[in-house]
Amino acid sequence: MRRQRWHTSVPIVDMLEVTARGLHERGFSRIALFGTRFTIETEFGALDAFDVIPPRPQEIDEIHRVYLELATAGHTSAANVDALREIGRAIQRRDRVDAVVLAGTDLNLIFDEASPGFPAFDCASAHISTILDRATRS
């Protein structure tokens, strides 16, 4: 019996390019990042066109801790969600950022761009939307 092969083409889309384009289109220039410690400390790799403001060291510790919990357990407590909301609001007030980039794919388990309580850009959602858009145009 011969197997039928399905050939599908999923476009390769660079998440950093999508993120940079989305931030630029929304007029964001001064941003902060939420994600793993590595993501925050390396400024997500390639956002040179933006003024990336790092959270304070204790904020990075907390963001990283909650993110790892989300990534390993798939959920977190309401208290942890509230802690991230407070950090995001504090960064926005203190550092006058235009938006916090949700630079970790697991963050969309607790936030979308409308729900965190501070201006946010969800890079995972933007990436997925771009992939779907390109895949359906073919």
pLDDT at 9 over 70: no
Alpha-carbon span 134 to 11, nearest angstrom: 7
Q: pLDDT tens digit string along 68-110?
A: 999 999 999 999 999 999 999 999 999 999 999 999 889 988 9
Domains, the chain: 29-137 (3.40.50.1860)
pLDDT of residue 24: 96
Q: Which residues contact 83 (CB under 8 A, 6 or more apart)?
A: 62, 66
Q: pLDDT tens digit string along 21-75?
A: 999 999 999 999 999 999 898 876 678 899 999 999 999 999 999 999 999 999 9
pTM value?
Answer: 0.87
More confident residue, 6 or 127: 127
Alpha-carbon span 9 to 26, nearest angstrom: 30
DSSP per-residue codes, 8-76? --PPP--HHHHHHHHHHHTT--EEEEES-HHHHHTTTTT-TTSEEPPPPHHHHHHHHHHHHHHHHHS--
Q: What angle do CA 13, 53, 79 make, to 5 degrees?
A: 85
